[in-house]
Structure 1
Amino acid sequence: MQRRIIIAGGGTGGHIFPAIAIANALKKISPEVDILFVGANGKMEMEKVPQAGYPIEGLDIAAFNRSNMLKNLLLPFRIIKSLNQASSILKRFRPDVVVGVGGYASFPMLRKAQRKGIPTLIQEQNSYAGKTNKILGGRANRICVAYDGMEKFFPASKLIFTGNPVRSSITQSAVTRQEALQHFGLEEGKKTVFAFGGSLGARSISEALRALLPAFGEKEVQLIWQTGKLYYETAKAAAAPYASHIKVHEFINLMDFAYKAADVVISRAGAMTIAEECVVKKPVIFVPYPYAAEDHQTFNAKSLVDKKAGLLIKDSEVSNELGNTLFSLLQNKALMEQLEENIGKLGNSNADMVIAKEVMKLMS
């Protein structure tokens, strides 16, 4: 008998890429399993999931809008509509299990599945659980987590520590440091920094880096700088006098090359970014995005800082502190080695398979 699984959620790459990793692991365990993704219409999963080779259906759901309260007038109707759409999908597809990875579409699908008695599994990526998952957690069969102390949000008996799934392009990369530096047109034997703020960039990090460009030149430190779309032209113009050792990119597809080339990484503190950084074992300076839901990025970063596995600069202090923190770290070999060793202990390149096995157990 063919097994059927729905994977629901999305909205950002931080939800979509783990979902695809779990789907791929399920296919490795059981190639004949039938997987359907459910996302939110108009969001990036509607494009990314089919590119990965899986079918997806969209719900007409959106988040609470904090900046334009008028837009929330339609929210109750959208929730009712998306719950009805979820019911219809469950009736048609008849899944054995529904997996929620967070994001808009998770709530209606898992809520309806739980009411129909279909087993559900939640994959909570962050150290501070989102509202949706907290609501759904009480009736979920399994909750896969990546951080300690999650029993403050969920029933302890349902928790399984699995870590967060990381893209296979990073876990299985065989690129050498020499190849990575050559790819970016950089020299061997010089300290190299990789800075990025997620796919859309991070203005505060970019502004701080722009002010430091002369210092990179004086200290002969190389920089791979992923700016995102909005800051790309500004950064490119500012970096033009230093083009030999500062490489500006709007977006980097070969993230494994960028990580391999780097001695130190500067980044936000999204759960999936951290999962990748643990696998590649690099010293990281975290600048958490302060407006993320429930300020979860700060909680994510602090959980590593408490284990001496990373450094933390507040977003509001990055323009004043980044230079001193970065250049003193690059001079401090002992601290770099300590950070590398401790972040490496937290890496899990097998999380997708561990989660997939838990999904399969719910069908037996």
Structure 2
Amino acid sequence: MGKYRFILSGGGTGGHIYPAVAIADELKRRHPDADFLFVGASDRMEMEKVPQAGYEIKGLWISGIQRKLSLKNLLFPLKLLSSLIKSRRILRSFKPDLVVGTGGFASGPLLRAATDLGIPAVIQEQNSFAGITNKWLAPQVDRIFTAYEGLEKVFPKEKIILTGNPVRSGFSALEKKKQEALKHFGLSADKPVLFVMGGSLGAREINKLIASRLDLFRSLDVQVLWQCGKLYYDQYRRHENEAVKVLDFITDMELAYAAADIIVSRAGAGSVSELAIVGKPVIFIPSPNVAEDHQTKNALAVVEKQAALMLSEGEMHDKFDDLFEELLEDQEKRKTLGERFKALALPDATQKIVDEIERLLHKKSNE
């Protein structure tokens, strides 16, 4: 067969975008002459992040259904129809050999149009609870790559392959990068570092918690590397000083992980998978504002194996101080948590997914 052509679609949040980019990078590594196109939602962060990763992207006029009664919901059927029509146009023009969906609004119409046209298609589900888009697509696609067991309850069992979540590269040998990381962020080498990450857009309640505990961190001589998110940067940037670094978004995540001694994080699937490979002590504060409370389920899968700690938003203001101080003082506990978490990692997810994609392409070309 000649050179391959791939379309990848997924977005809305970093949790859908980064797996798609990781899969594209591995396909490109194996097939340097392949052509790639991404398809996303025209007003979401993938329109910025995908070109930064070196790939072309086209946008669809699509958004999710709001849970509350909303005028936007009235536009949904029109947006879906428009996106299906545009998706067909993109597919007929680009002529991909295979389409990959990693969840998010835009992957729905694009993969639905692809399967209707008989183009091989695969999806990747990051969470322990399947997203609405992937549930809708599952009956039509050829393969479903999952990161958690038990999804045969919602997906056709014969299509499921447990691979883990694709993560960005560069998270190995972090200890060797520690000095470089501290210098990069302007942090001191003789004080511990708390790294706070609330996801690509930020997390309002975690930001409120951190802002209210800056005196505590100062009294404990702890430095804070605080990724507050673009939505909140203007509100919290005034807290920046020698010991508190406030950033809207961090591009060099491996350096942030390398600098960290303790991490406070949401429990999105991509973050959990990355943090397992990083292998450092983590306090999860799951977002309660997600479908079926899947972040709590993601975090519990780690906590139940005594590989991380967790606080709900409801209890964090009462319990954070004691939990954090105890973890800071107990170096052995930090080491144990990190080692146990690392033992849960599935670091070869991207390679496994691309292996399966190649098998599928080979099978289709022989049919």
How far the C-alpha of 1:246 sits from its partner, in A, is: 2.6
Give the match for residue 267 of structure 1.
Answer: 265
Cα distance in 1 for residues equivalent to 2:51 and 2:186:
34
Asked if 1 retains the 8 angstrom alpha-carbon contact of 2:101 and 2:124, the reply is yes
Question: Which whole-Å deviations, capped at 9, do the CAs of 1:126-145 have from their partners, x for residues lacking one?
Answer: 11111111122123211111
Matches within 5 A, 1:261-300: 261-300=259-298
Question: Which whole-Å deviations, capped at 9, do the CAs of 1:223-280 have from their partners, x for residues lacking one?
Answer: 212222344354344x46xx34332233333222221121110011111111221111
Question: Which whole-Å deviations, capped at 9, do the CAs of 1:141-168 have from their partners, x for residues lacking one?
Answer: 1111112222222222222121111112
Matches within 5 A, 1:20-35: 20-35=21-36
How far the C-alpha of 1:284 sits from its partner, in A, is: 0.6
User: What is the aligned residue count?
Assistant: 361
Out of 326, 329, 338, the residue aligned to residue 328 of structure 1 is 326
User: Which letter does structure 1 place at the counterpart of 2:197?
Assistant: F
How far the C-alpha of 1:190 sits from its partner, in A, is: 2.7
| Structure 2 counterpart SS, 1:363 | helix
Does residue 247 in structure 1 map to residue 245 in structure 2? yes
User: Which letter does structure 1 place at the counterpart of 2:154?
Assistant: F
Give the match for residue 345 of structure 1.
Answer: 343
Give the match for residue 303 of structure 1.
Answer: 301
CA, structure 1 residues 244+7, in 2 after alignment: closer, same or farther (shift >3 Å)?
Answer: closer
How far the C-alpha of 1:68 sits from its partner, in A, is: 5.4
| Structure 1 counterpart SS, 2:226 | strand
Give the match for residue 71 of structure 1.
Answer: 72
Does residue 235 in structure 1 map to residue 240 in structure 2? no
Report the more deviating stretch, 30-39 or 66-75: 66-75
Does residue 358 in structure 1 map to residue 356 in structure 2? yes
Asked if 2 retains the 8 angstrom alpha-carbon contact of 1:266 and 1:287, the reply is yes
Asked if 1 retains the 8 angstrom alpha-carbon contact of 2:125 and 2:134, the reply is yes
Where structure 1 has 5 or more consecutive residues not aligned to the other structure, the ranges are none
Matches within 5 A, 1:70-219: 70-171=71-172, 175-219=176-220
Out of 314, 317, 325, the residue aligned to residue 315 of structure 2 is 317
Question: Which whole-Å deviations, capped at 9, do the CAs of 1:43-67 have from their partners, x for residues lacking one?
Answer: 2222322232222222222211234
| Structure 2 counterpart SS, 1:65 | coil
Cα distance in 1 for residues equivalent to 2:286 and 2:263:
13
How far the C-alpha of 1:107 sits from its partner, in A, is: 1.0
How far the C-alpha of 1:33 sits from its partner, in A, is: 1.9
Where structure 2 has 5 or more consecutive residues not aligned to the other structure, the ranges are 363-367
Asked if 2 retains the 8 angstrom alpha-carbon contact of 1:171 and 1:349, the reply is no
Asked if 1 retains the 8 angstrom alpha-carbon contact of 2:175 and 2:258, the reply is no
CA, structure 1 residues 213+360, in 2 after alignment: closer, same or farther (shift >3 Å)?
Answer: same
Give the percent of matched residue pairs that are identical in Structure 1 and Structure 2.
Answer: 48
Report the more deviating stretch, 86-95 or 167-176: 167-176
TM-score, normalised by the number of residues in structure 1: 0.92
How far the C-alpha of 1:111 sits from its partner, in A, is: 1.6
Question: Which whole-Å deviations, capped at 9, do the CAs of 1:296-346 have from their partners, x for residues lacking one?
Answer: 211111111122121111122222222111111122233222211111012
User: Which letter does structure 2 place at the counterpart of 1:39?
Assistant: G
Cα distance in 2 for residues equivalent to 1:156 and 1:262:
40
Cα distance in 2 for residues equivalent to 1:86 and 1:172:
41
Cα distance in 2 for residues equivalent to 1:169 and 1:196:
18
| Structure 1 counterpart SS, 2:6 | strand
CA, structure 1 residues 349+217, in 2 after alignment: closer, same or farther (shift >3 Å)?
Answer: same
Question: Which whole-Å deviations, capped at 9, do the CAs of 1:68-109 have from their partners, x for residues lacking one?
Answer: 512211211221221122222222222221111101111112
Asked if 2 retains the 8 angstrom alpha-carbon contact of 1:26 and 1:353, the reply is no
Report the more deviating stretch, 59-68 or 194-203: 59-68
Cα distance in 1 for residues equivalent to 2:89 and 2:95:
10
TM-score, normalised by the number of residues in structure 2: 0.91
| Structure 2 counterpart SS, 1:308 | coil
Give the match for residue 2 of structure 1.
Answer: 3
User: Which letter does structure 2 place at the counterpart of 1:339?
Assistant: L
Cα distance in 2 for residues equivalent to 1:146 and 1:45:
22
User: Which letter does structure 2 place at the counterpart of 1:358?
Assistant: E
